[in-house]
Every structure is written in structure tokens, then in C-alpha cells.
Structure 1
Amino acid sequence: MENSYRRIIREVGEFGRFQKTAAICLAVLALPHAMHCLSMAFLGALPEHHCRLPAINTSTSALDDFPLLSSPYRQDSLNGSIPLEMDSGGEWRYSRCLQYNFTDGLRVDTDNRTLQVQHCTDGWVYDRSHYGTSIVTQFDLVCDRAWLREFAQSVHMLGFSFGAITSGALSDRYGRRPTLLWCIFLLFTFSVASAFSPNYIVFVILKFVLGAVNVSIYYTAFVLGMELLDHSKHTMFGMCMYLFLVLGNMGIGTVSMIGRAGGILAPFVALLGKYWAPLPLLTFGVLSFLNGVAILALPETLGVPLPNTLEDAENLKSLGEKNLQNTEKILSEELQKTEKIEIYDKITVL
């Protein structure tokens, strides 16, 4: 019966306007998938930083800005407060996690090497010339808390694994299109919510959910495309999905390189982060919402039987109007070979 179904599809048109539109709409869903996969490279951007000077512990002070590092007063303050350390490149820099231990306020000693050092007590100052903001600067994920930056990405990938396991069962039970629509809605909602994460724990939970729904969209769209298209077009559709995946990766990398914008960076709107930090992440949600609208035009394939009467065959015009008379002839021949109930049970597009 499968061969007969393929014959019918070829007669009606195996890759007409409907199939092309469906393939493009589904392939576009790979764009947000790629963007979210690389988002932590910018959400977790690690700028240069050092301990906040003990005597200048207000975030409103102009001396907190790295561009004023060459200021003589700031230079002297750093020399008297922050020890030097050698980086991996063999160059000296101010320590990122240590400061001199003062008990009587800020003072410059002629021999700082005799002073004891301690971990930062008043927070950190970050270089915001390249990254306006990121989860590192927002939640102070540096020094002894630096592992939390990688942990957030690990939780995101754990969400990928969870979504890959559950998406197939959900789409088989409730249908491909409902699963796609719900996942796109969740991606839109939680992408917007992540821009307003009040603390690190909420951010990590949202990253887990985003990872699960993101991979569910990609896998479900891939399966739906394979079911809608003839097997001769499967390779082409798979390559098209990967093409949009690569375009998404290139887009976020290119925009970040050109824009030089803040840590919460989304493709195509990187510079917006300098005006309002949540705006880049909001774009993730907007793209997901537009994808959801496009999915409404796709048909459902779960539990849809092939036509078993000539009257049902008339409905195949949505797949293409090519050679309709030949299609009716083929359907009539198949109906004569098998009882109607057997055709209904066995010929089903899953």
C-alpha cells in the first residue's frame, strides 16, 4: 500500500507549491534553534574585571568605568589596592579576584608586596566597553562563582536531552502541529521571561525549559517535513534544515562581531542592548512568535487516512491539481483490490 500512496503523490504532484511552502516554513524554524544554541556565548560573556576599590564602593562613581583606567588618580588607587598577576600570555594585569587587605581605609604603600591579600569584599568592577551586560556582570559569576557560568550552559543542554526524549512521544500523541505550536508559544514566553530573570536560579530554570522546547521544535519540524514530502525530497529537505541552522549560527556570530554590543545579545538587534538590556532577548521571542504564525498554515498529519473513495479523492486538490483524472483512476484501481475497511486501517499518514 505504501507504494500505491507514493504513486498517488507523484501523480498529484510530489513537490508542488504547497510542499515548497511547507518545507520553507519548517526549515525557518531552525533559525531560532541555532541562535539559542550559541546564545550562551554572549549571555555568559566574561569581561575584564577587578575588585571594586574599598574606598570607592558606590556603583554610581565615575571611577567604576574602565575607560577611565588611565586616569592618574584611578591608576594610583589601583596600584595601591589591587595586586598584579601574570596572565596566560605572560603579561602583567590587575588581579581579578584579589585585593590588598586594608584595615584603615585606602592608602598607597611604597612596598605593596608586604601587604596581605584577600578576596574581593566590595564586589567587582567590569569593563563594559565591549559587553554592556551579561549574566556574569548581573549575577557576579566570577572568581569562586565562575563555575556557575558553565553550569548554566550544562543545564541548557540537559534541557535539550529532555526535549529530545519527550518531543517524539508528545507529537505522536497530540499531533505534530499542536506540539509545534505549543513549543513555539513556550519558546516565545520563556525567552521574554528570561530577559527579566531576577536571580541566577530563575535564569537557570528558564534556560532548561528553553533548551527542551527549542530542540522539540527542531525535531518535530524535521519529522513533519519528512512526512509531508515524498521520499525523493527527504535529502533535500534535510539539507535545507541544516542550511538554516548554519545561517542562524552565522547570523548571531556576524552580528556580535559587527555590533560589539552587550552580553544579553540576540541576532540582528545587538546594538539595542546598549539602550535597554532585555531588548535583544525579546527578539528571540518575537522570532518564535512569527514562526508560530507561519506554522498555522501547515496541515496535520497524525491520524489522517488516505482517501478510500473517489469523493475523498477530490480533497486531494490541496496537494496539487496536476493530473486529477489520472489520480482518480489510480484510486479506483486500488479500491477494487482491497476492502474499504482494510484501506482505512492500513493506509494512514502517521
Structure 2
Amino acid sequence: MAFNEILESIGGVGYFQILHTILLLVPVTLLACHNLLQNFTGAVPSHHCRVPLDIALQTQGLNFTKDSGRAELLKPFIPMDQQQRFEKCIQYRTKDILPSTMGERGIDLSTEPCKDGWIYDSSVFSSTIATEFNLVCNQRSWKQVAHSIYMTGVFIGALVFGSLADKLGRMEILTWSYLQMGIAGCCAAFLPTFDAYCAFRFLCGVASSAISVNSISLILEWMPSRGRTLAGNFFGFSYSLGQLVLAALAYKIRDWRWLQFSVSAPYCVFFLYSWWLPESARWLILRDKPHKALVNLRKAARVNGKLKEGNKLNEEVMLCSEMQKEIMEIRSTHSVFDLIRTPAMRRMSICLVLVFSANFAYYGLSMDLQNFGISVFLAQALFGGVEMAAKLFVMVAMTFVGRRLMQFWSLSMAGVLVVSYGFAPQEKKLLCTVLAVTGKAFLACSITCMYLYTGELYPTEIRQTGMGFSAMNARLGSAIASVVHLSGDFSSSIFPMIFGITPLLAGLCSCFLSETKNSPLRETIHDVESRYQITNRSQITMGFLVIRYTVPNETKQNSENKIILTHNETYFSAMHTSMIFHRTFSNVLKLQHSILSLSYKKLQNISFLFSSF
């Protein structure tokens, strides 16, 4: 009995799977809050140099940020910019001016950097890390550095915890990560220095990656094949819901310390209930722990109301010849190098670098809400709401068109929209916002599809390592997006070009991945290689269109070593087996009821670049 059949026999997609998925998705929802938290905790409000006028008003206990007529009083102290707003980082030089003498006497029209700090507008945020640690003017890059440090933690977490989870188990790593996220997040909220804040945010990033990777693996490994698509899409759906939660929390909590605490403390609760969640039975079987797997499967059967079927399970059923063979195969050690050791795994891993591009563009758009010209709370809510609608579409589309085609179109459309945003006039705020929000929605579709797709592509014995590799590339893209922002404002057209071209290139790479729709999960590397070698494939490229020819076993070769193919044996890799495109191609080349003769040797030479992957 295959493992998928065991899951179906104890209830399939039953109460256990539903409850198990919900309990794993609630922490994932708050991961979105952590990943995008610095849009609010690091927001930079309007500010100007702290001048003697501000000192005098503070001394007298006046409301120096809203006092009527204050702008006129500030003009002798602070120059105006081209938009007739006070300069943020310079002031007129003062010569021993006293708070009691507020005239123009003692004022030099030459300018100097702010000497006594800054005055911040507190009408939107009462406190942020930018206002508390003065991360403005020549220190403004430190805000992006803080986010890059967090994303570096996410990157390292993906690198480390993917392999550890394959060796130690999914739940052990997940439980520890909940505790680490709760403690580190709360510490970051109340420590007094910027260095300490960055250090504990780094630890939050490490835990975030471990939670994300292990949650999706546990969901997929406890879900029978028919429910994997829906469960995988709910994983992405929960992340978008988290963006709406963040917008609501940030709107209500304007102090960055309490906002940081509010999205971190719940992980202590998640840590407590995680002790109830069972380890993956699939992983336990493949790690030669059938007794523990049997206990967990019977627990699932009991929750699903299939107690009788659960009692019928025994270790002999789970250690049938097929499973015993898989257990013997995985007793050899596996490492990250197994991802590129064999041809099929090598091609798969190289193509999955496209996740890097999707996350690079996604966070490039997500982490600069203040430059869209609308309320940051509204922008965050729009991003989350549109993503939820887009992912609802993906949940349906992937079921019908498959993973590969969905990935191709999501990345391609995102790239076109983000590049268009770069060419749109910046004064047309509505158009720019629509392009950016829609582009980000397509990127979210791609990422949602990719999480499910990656879990289905890699075999169980190195699934965590493979997903850790993909998450590592994704987080590397996120960290680099923060570094790109260090060089200037996102309003510059060069940034949308960078963030738009990379998804376009990634969309082309996705054409070389295999389709996994309605396919059982691969258990071993041997399964992946066997499926890859079922047919002898050759590929050629024509412009940007990949055309694949399948050579059936019964095809005969003539004395000149040529392969004879009828047009009915051709199909498009990027479109899977779409008869619409197939007929169009046949009609254009006049191949209806004809024979296409191709030189086998030349075709192999042309396709070597692709078939070697």
C-alpha cells in the first residue's frame, strides 16, 4: 500500500488535515507581519532640524508640532526646498542665538547640517526606529541595513534549517522556531539600542525561514494528493491575509515597540500548542521509525472518525516491499550537493533559482510604501486585498492549467506590469499605484505557486533540503532588494526596470520544469531520475519559444541515422499539451498529414545545452 493510499484509508482530507493545516497557517499569517513590519516600524515621518525655536517652545511646554503660525517663525532658521517645504537635513548657521531672541539677528544665510537633532511629525506615527534612533539624513541608509540584516537571517535560516529538518524532523525544528521567534521578537521590541534591535531581528529572520519551510512541508506530507493544491494555495493565501492584519494592527498601534511586541508575543502561544502537532508520518517511515509513524497515523484516523481503519494499520502494512525499498535507498547520507548531482535534479535546481527573481521583485515593491503617494495603511491594505483575490484565482487556475504554465504567466505578467510602472509618469499617482499593486499581485501568485511546486518537485528524502535551497534563493533576493534600495528612492525609474526584467527572465526558466499536476509525490532521487528518463527527449529553441520533440520507443531510425517524426508527436513544453497551440503550429508549417525529418545528430548538438540539465 502506497502512503497516499494509507492517508485516503484513514479519512483523506478529513477533520485532522483541516485542523492541522489551520494550526500551521496561523503562525504563517503573522510571518507576513514580520517580513513587512518595517514599512511601519521604520517609517520616516516629515522632519526638520531642531533649531532654537523648537528648544524655546519645548522649554515653554507648547505643542511645537502643531502650533499655528509656527511655519513663519521657522523660516529664519531653516531654508525651503523646491516644493516650498522645509529642508530636512540642513539649517541656517546660527551665531550664539538665545531662545529669548527670535529675530533674524545672529542668523547667517549659509547652511550647515543639523546640529541639535531633528523634530519629527508625530501626527501619523508616535514613534518609529527612524525617529528614536535618528535614522535620517546621512544616517538614513541604516533603516534599509536593518531590514537587510533581517532578510540575511531569513536567508541563513533557509540554508541551515532545511537540512536540519531532514535529519532531525520537521516538528522539532518548527517547535524551536516558534520559541525563538517569540523571545527574539519581544526582546527586539524593548531593547534600548539600535545594534541590539538589529541582532534580535536577525534571530527573528532565522526563525521565520524555518517556520515557513517546515509548515508547508508538514501540510503537504499529511495531505493526500487530491488536497495538496488547495492546501498549498491556502498557505499563500494566509500570507496575504497577514498583510491585512498588519495594516489593521499598524493603524491601531502607532508606537513601533508595541507593534513589534504585538506580532511577536503570539508565537509563545504557538510554541505551546505545537507540542500537540504530530511529526510527519511520511518522514518517520522513510527514517525507519514505523512505530512512531503508526501512532501518528492512528491519531489522525481517530480525529477523522476512522478509528476502525486506523486500528487495521500495522507496521507490516507500512513496511511493504515498495516502502522497504525506499527506506533502504535513503539510508545513505544526503547533502545539498545531491540537488545538483544527477541530471534531472541539476536541471530542476538550476531552474528553481527563478524564485530568487520573484522575491527580489516582490520585496522591491513591498518595502517602499511611503513613495506611492497614498496612505501607507491604505497601500498595505490594497496590497493584501489584491493579493488575496489573485491567489483565489490561482487556487482555481493551477487545478486546471497546472503549475508550470501558471508559473510562466504569473512571472511574465508581473515583469511587464512592473516595467510599465517604471515608464509611467510619476505625477499620475493612481496609474502608478494600480500598476504596482497589480504587478505585486502577479508576483504573489508566482510565489504561492512556487511553494507548492517546489514541494512537489523534490523527493521526500531531500524535500526539506530542496525547499531550503529554494527558500535560500528567495530570501537572497529579498535581502538584495533591500540593498538596492540603499542607493536611492524607489521613485527612480531604474528600480522598476531592475525589478521587472528579472521576473521576465525567470518566466522563461520555468518552461524547463516538469509538470506535477495530479502526480504522486516523488519519494527518492531515483524516482525523479526514472521519470526524467521515461522518454528520450530532445529540445531545440526557436526565438523565445521552447519546442520539445518526444521520441517514442517504437520510433525507427533509418540507415542515415535520422529520426522520423509525424506532427502528431510534437508538443509545446511551455504550453504542456495544448491542442490549440499544437494545431496552430501544424497549420503554420503545413505539416498536416506530413512527415518531419530531422537529423538526430544535429538535433542532439543543438539541444545539448538544455538536455544536459
TM-score, normalized by length of structure 2? 0.48
CA contact (8 A) 1:11 1:323 kept: no
Secondary structure of the structure 2 residue equivalent to 1:177: helix
Match of 1:293 in 2: 272
CA contact (8 A) 2:9 2:309 kept: no
- Deviation digits for residues 63-122 of structure 1 (CA, Å, limit 9, x no counterpart): 563111x24xx4453122111112xxxx3011111111111215533997x611111111
Q: Whole-Å Cα distance in 1 between the matches of residues 280 and 269 of structure 2?
A: 22
Secondary structure of the structure 2 residue equivalent to 1:239: helix
Q: Whole-Å Cα distance in 1 between the matches of residues 197 and 289 of structure 2?
A: 52
Q: Does 1:52 align with 2:50?
A: yes
CA contact (8 A) 2:284 2:290 kept: no
Cα offset for 1:343?
8.8
Greater shift after overlay, 49-58 or 95-104? Answer: 49-58
CA RMSD of aligned residues (A): 3.4
Q: Whole-Å Cα distance in 2 between the matches of residues 292 and 253 of structure 1?
A: 25
Q: Whole-Å Cα distance in 1 between the matches of residues 147 and 290 of structure 2?
A: 54
Match of 1:108 in 2: 103
- Pick one of 232, 240, 243 that aligns with 1:246: 240
Cα offset for 1:174?
2.0
Q: How many residues align?
A: 323
**Pair 183,84 (structure 1): closer, same or farther in 2 beyond 3 Å:** same
Match of 1:213 in 2: 207
Instruction: Quote the sequence identity (%).
Output: 25
Q: Does 1:22 align with 2:16?
A: no
Gaps of 5+ in 2: 332-459, 462-613
Q: Whole-Å Cα distance in 2 between the matches of residues 147 and 61 of structure 1?
A: 34
Match of 1:92 in 2: 84
- Deviation digits for residues 174-229 of structure 1 (CA, Å, limit 9, x no counterpart): 22111111111111001111111322111112222111111211111111111111
Match of 1:65 in 2: 64
Alignment of 1:146-161 (within 5 A): 146-161=140-155
Alignment of 1:177-192 (within 5 A): 177-192=171-186
* Amino acid aligned to 1:156: Y
- Deviation digits for residues 13-64 of structure 1 (CA, Å, limit 9, x no counterpart): 2122222211111111211111011100001111111111136438665356
* Amino acid aligned to 1:67: K
CA contact (8 A) 1:57 1:122 kept: no
**Pair 190,309 (structure 1): closer, same or farther in 2 beyond 3 Å:** closer
Q: Whole-Å Cα distance in 2 between the matches of residues 308 and 118 of structure 1?
A: 71
Q: Whole-Å Cα distance in 2 between the matches of residues 340 and 216 of structure 1?
A: 28
Q: Whole-Å Cα distance in 2 between the matches of residues 291 and 339 of structure 1?
A: 37
Of structures 1 and 2, the one with the larger relative CO (CA 8 A, separation 6+) is 1
Cα offset for 1:173?
2.3
Q: Whole-Å Cα distance in 2 between the matches of residues 237 and 323 of structure 1?
A: 24
* Amino acid aligned to 1:78: L
Q: Whole-Å Cα distance in 2 between the matches of residues 66 and 167 of structure 1?
A: 48
Q: Whole-Å Cα distance in 2 between the matches of residues 186 and 200 of structure 1?
A: 20
Q: Whole-Å Cα distance in 1 between the matches of residues 235 and 279 of structure 2?
A: 20
CA contact (8 A) 2:294 2:313 kept: no
- Pick one of 9, 15, 18 that aligns with 2:7: 9
Greater shift after overlay, 28-37 or 314-323? Answer: 314-323
Q: Whole-Å Cα distance in 1 between the matches of residues 192 and 22 of structure 2?
A: 37
Cα offset for 1:331?
8.0
Gaps of 5+ in 1: 265-277
